[in-house]
Amino acid sequence: MSDKNTFFKQKSTLNINGKLLDLTVPKVMGILNITPDSFYDGGVHNNIDQALRHTEKHLSEGAAIIDIGAYSSRPSAADISVKDEIDRLRPVLQAIAKRFPEAILSIDTFRSEVATAAVNEGAHIINDISGGSLDERMFETIAELKVPYILMHMRGTPKTMQKLTSYNNMVQEILEYFISRISDLRSLGVKDIIIDPGYGFAKTTEQNYELLSRSDQFKILELPVLTAVSRKSMIYKPLEISADEALNGTTALHTIALLKGSSILRAHDVKQAVEAIKIVSMLPSY
Query: Rounded to an integer, what distance in angstroms lies between the CA atom of residue 42 and that of residue 25?
Result: 31
Q: Which residues contact 178 (CB under 8 A, 6 or more apart)?
A: 151, 153, 195, 218, 221
The strand pair at 13-16 and 19-22 is best described as antiparallel
> CA-to-CA distance for 211 and 213, rounded, in angstroms?
6
What lies within 8 Å, CB to CB, of 103 at 6+ separation is 55, 59, 66, 96, 97
Catalytic-role residue among 155, 186, 266, 278: 266
207: Cβ–Cβ under 8 A, 6 or more apart, which residues? 165, 167, 170
Is 271 annotated in the active site? no
Q: Contact, 261 vs 217, CB < 8 A?
A: no
266 an active-site residue? Answer: yes
Q: Out of 159, 232, 271, 278, which one is annotated catalytic?
A: 232
Indicate which residues carry an active-site annotation: 232, 266
